[in-house]
Structure 1
Amino acid sequence: MAIVSGFNHASFTVSDMDRSLLFYRDLLGMTLEADRELQAPHISRITGFPGTRMRVANLRIAGLMLELIQYREPVGERPPLRTCNVGNAHIAFDVEDLPKLCRELSARGVQFRSEPVEIPSGPLQGGYVVYLSDPDGITLEFVQRPQAA
């Protein structure tokens, strides 16, 4: 029997909520469901940081929730965000026509780690994958699944 019963949300800590909303909502097309300031004793207990104040936004895409948190107090540090660092994470999104999307987003200033890479073997054989960075350097992955034969 599974200990967990489902997926609730993924969360990223960001440095500037307005800038992140421009990226995730306006550029990537996610739907903003909530944007609020939080400061309450239970928030401090959950995070383990006394006096926590934060701005939290919830965005939805394809039935999944992405939570963005900008801590007002305490102000966090900016560690190296390399995908090889233990504890670093990323989210992958399915997309259509990855080469075209990369050209369009590059023209709008989005930083990609490479050109779309064709997958030569495995379950995604014939598909394409690329890593990109959000405004805080958080890694996202775009996946174009292989065309059905």
Structure 2
Amino acid sequence: MSGFQVLRTNHTSFTVSDLDRTCGFFEDALGFEVISRAPRDPALIGQITGVEGADIEVAYVQGPGHRLELIQYLAPDDRRQVEAKPCDTGFAHLAFDVTDVDAAIAASQVFGFRPINPPAPIDKGPNAGSRVVYLRDLDGVTIEYIEKSE
């Protein structure tokens, strides 16, 4: 043992370009609750992240069994959008079990999420019998919806 233990997962974080749009998606499409939203001290954020001149606003959204941190950087000016593909090292996505994949897709499209491909049936592993789809938003945030078989 290493002398400490992980107690629980605190949050998963995504950097986004439009905090209003992304919070709206999680609230209105998925039913999450925004539990906190505020700017942070640039000096502290620079110390934590190593990003000099970081000016951010942070929102926490709470969903069933998990909390997300959404960060919008207002500075520095040299930030850029990364378009990682699922095969790229470091790529991440959120996966949600849903009751209806097609309804989830429709609700997500209102907020700029687009399916990468139509839902696909899974024939192996713990999700065998499920329908699965990946969707991406304008920031490259990727969501997976899994509709379990009855």
- TM-score (ref. length: structure 2): 0.86
Which of 125, 138, 141 is matched with 1:138 structurally? 141
Query: Which position in structure 2 is the counterpart of 1:54?
Result: 56
Distance 2:112 2:89 in 1: 28
Matched, 1:19 2:18: no
Q: Percent of counterpart pairs with the same letter? A: 37
Q: Deviations over 1:59-87 (max 9, x none)?
A: 01002111100111224211222111111
Q: Deviations over 1:8-46 (max 9, x none)?
A: 100000011112122222222211001101124322210
Equivalent runs, 1:106-145 vs 2, <5 Å: 106=109, 110-145=113-148
- Aligned-residue RMSD, C-alpha: 2.0
Query: Which position in structure 2 is the counterpart of 1:100?
Result: 103
Give the CA deviation at 1:107.
Answer: 6.8
- Select between 97-106 and 33-42 the one with higher mean Cα deviation: 97-106
Give the CA deviation at 1:121.
Answer: 1.8
Give the CA deviation at 1:101.
Answer: 3.0
> Which ranges in structure 2 are unaligned for 5 or more consecutive residues?
none
Q: Number of paired residues?
A: 147
Distance 2:71 2:110 in 1: 27
Which of 21, 36, 45 is matched with 1:43 structurally? 45
Alignment partner of 1:92: what SS? strand
> Which ranges in structure 1 are unaligned for 5 or more consecutive residues?
none
Query: Which position in structure 1 is the counterpart of 2:73?
Result: 71
CA contact (8 A) 1:54 1:72 kept: yes
CA contact (8 A) 2:36 2:60 kept: yes
CA contact (8 A) 1:13 1:69 kept: yes
